[in-house]
Structure 1
């Protein structure tokens, strides 16, 4: 799978949690900065989605729904940016995701 482009790996990262794992392991041997950036971004979005699910179940259904829709919108935006071969950041979040998830480098 070494012949996959950085763009293809980045798109794979946005296909559920499993896609993020697949993209991480494919990118591990032949690292691309573009792919790594999108993997970190998706990992952060997955955590945001997890927070939304926990909020829905244990805190407040309405607030959890709002968080879920925000996470979904940000995921769709990020997927489109990967398809367009861009590193367009989600304001505030992408910068923090890159800073926090250095273990994914």
Structure 2
């Protein structure tokens, strides 16, 4: 798996939680900044998804659904950016994800 491109590893990161873990471990030995950026981005989106599910169950169904829809749209956008080999950020969130999740470096 050493011969995977940074783009391929970034795309793998957007394939569910398992894909994020796989991309993290594949990227661990031969780090690519592009892949690391997308791994952090996806980790933040996964947290947003978890928050939406908790909100649906315990706070408000409609608000949780709205959060889920936002997380889904941002995931699709981010996946497309990885496919296009771009580090196009989600306004505000991507910068924060990069800042907060330094343990994924």
TM-score tier, shorter chain, comes to over 0.9
The CA distance in 2 between the partners of 1:93 and 1:49, in whole Å, is 14
**CA shift at 1:92, angstroms?**
0.1
- Structure 1 runs (4+) deviating above 3 angstroms are none
Partner of 1:33: 33
The two structures have a TM-score, normalised by structure 2, of 1.00
Deviation at 1:38? 0.0
Residue segments in structure 2 that go unaligned for 5+ positions in a row: none
- CA deviations over 1:25-59 (Å, ceiling 9, x no partner): 00000000000000000000000000000000000
Write the mapping of 1:20-99 to structure 2, written as runs, cut at 5 A.
20-99=20-99
SS in 2 for 1:90: coil
Provide structure 1 residue ranges, at least 5 long, that are not aligned to the other structure: none
Partner Cα distance (1:15, 1:35) in 2: 13
In structure 1, distance between residues paired with 2:101 and 2:81: 20
Q: Considering only aligned residues, what root-mean-square deviation do their CA atoms show, in Å?
A: 0.1
Q: Matched residue pairs, number?
A: 105
**What is the distance in 1 between the residues matched to 2:2 and 2:15?**
19
